[in-house]
Amino acid sequence: MKKEDIKYKKKLIEESIQKVRSSMPKTQERFSKMGLAKDGIYKQIEFAIQNLLDALNEISSSLEIEAVSYRGIIESLHKEKIIGDELKEKLDFLVQLREVLIYNYDLINDEIAFRNMEEYLQFLEEGLKFLSSFLEGEE
């Protein structure tokens, strides 16, 4: 396992979360009118999810767990009891959110996204906690 790669991805995730938090307006109306800046927020969420999934893939590979998709990686890590039920659920949601952000961007509802943005960030932070504890256990 390349610990440095995982640490770097962790740093990128943390930076994305910070960028989103510092850019989020107070109201949904303002969020909806942000134009390209709003798109940037969505892109940072997508980027953070991608880095989290890539780090999980790195962990999975290092443990010689075979998987062909992000869902498969999460399923395998769960089956091997490396991640618990609650984290698995959150990671599954993030995979779905990533799919929407990449492939079905036109389906995003700004009102729902604004209302749930903090939850999305918390799910990413849960992933960060897992990466940190995994790295600590490997040292």
98-118 pLDDT per residue, tens: 999 999 988 899 999 999 999
Domain 3-138's class? mainly alpha
The reported pLDDT for the residue numbered 2 is 82
CB 56 within 8 A of CB 74: yes
Q: Domain segments of the chain: what residues? A: 3-138
Q: Taking the model in full, what pTM does it have?
A: 0.94
CB 73 within 8 A of CB 60: yes
Quick check: 54 pLDDT over 80? yes
Quick check: 1 pLDDT over 70? no
How confident is residue 139, by pLDDT bands cut at 50, 70 and 90?
Answer: low
6-41 pLDDT per residue, tens: 999 999 999 999 999 999 999 999 999 999 999 999
63-104 pLDDT per residue, tens: 999 888 999 999 999 999 999 999 999 999 999 999 999 999
